[in-house]
Homo-oligomer: A and B are copies of this chain.
């Protein structure tokens, strides 16, 4: 019978449900599900957090006996493997689901299409949408599951002509709406990261702002290329959990060869030593691997231009949040958005997935053409 406009509508609803758990589900993906018959919703569900019921199961519970003969909409291919919970595809067969519409196929190369196969073998009609919104829901999961590192979003706030500040130092370029967007984006990732230079100059808090409810403790990271930052930096202080949400200990990424200099930070942070005793500067790729090993599946990297350029040249960026402020700095002394060494050169094609006005500023949410890493 193919995919109808009604199917797309219910899939949109399933995506909305999935979004509710943004920031809470790692290392699992966001998933939403809707059960419907003849245009009527009989059950809804979403995956709340790792260890809890999958979206499909939650929706089936809500529908109860009514699920028999229905269509189940799932933003992600139902699982066919035993994990923390029994396979959803099997539960759907038992419940008598007759047809299922899947938003995006499982991006895990080891399990992909297993759900589709199991369902079809059980006689269920399976339609696959592969729509942009369903795919966007698992964008971070797809990277983290297929690679040895977290999904990385790089945020830069830049003048129209590509400078982050009119002179040495940093500068608040963008307005309130952009700042709110950045706080939301932080909360949608497992951790936020800044370079040591930014921490020294700006001494930022890098907090997320409620009201967004977040169940998982929020992690802040400082990437120290060579030297430590001050243990009195504000992001080592634990924010008030009632007002500011739950924060984990701040992580300091440090080159293992400079351990002595970082020992004072061990009192205030979790210092992750990267590389071996000969490592005098931070290996960013190895740092990312170390973060994934600690259960961090997505990182929001902010400031500064040195860290940004290194992440980009090493192919460690999956998405750009480029915030353009309405100002021209054109000046020999202005600081370029991407501070590359003379021998480095980057020529990357992008896709502007989203271009949106945020107050006086403009957000480019962009991904890369071709493989980043």
Contact = CB atoms under 8 A, between A and B. Distances in A.
Interface residues of A, number: 43
Interface in A332-370: 332-334, 336-338, 340-342, 344-352, 355, 357, 360, 362, 364, 366
B336 A162 contact: yes
Interface string A309-324: 1001100000010101
Contacts of A217: none
A327 interface: yes
A158 interface: yes
A332 B360 CA distance: 30
A340 B330 contact: yes
Contacts of A344: 330-332
A160 interface: yes
A296 B54 CA distance: 68
Given A326-B350, A327-B350, A352-B357, 6 more contacts: A160-B322, A162-B163, A312-B330, A326-B352, A327-B349, A333-B342
A332 B340 contact: yes
Contacts of A320: 160
A305 to B, nearest CB: 10
A243 B225 CA distance: 61
A351 B360 CA distance: 7
B345 A328 contact: no
A35 B261 CA distance: 80
Contacts of A338: 161, 328, 330
A114 interface: no
Interface string A139-183: 000000000000000000011111100100000000000000000
B328 A347 contact: yes
Contacts of A331: 340, 344-347
Contacts of A247: none
22 contacts: A160-B162, A160-B364, A161-B336, A161-B338, A166-B345, A166-B347, A312-B328, A313-B330, A326-B349, A327-B348, A328-B338, A329-B346, A329-B347, A330-B340, A330-B344, A331-B344, A331-B346, A331-B347, A332-B341, A332-B345, A333-B342, A333-B345
A341 to B, nearest CB: 7
Nearest to A353: B326
A346 B313 CA distance: 29
B342 A332 contact: yes
Contacts of A348: 327-328
Nearest to A326: B350
Nearest to A368: B328
Nearest to A367: B326
Given A337-B162, A347-B166, A362-B352, A309 B330 contact: yes
A161 B337 contact: yes
A91 to B, nearest CB: 43
A342 to B, nearest CB: 4
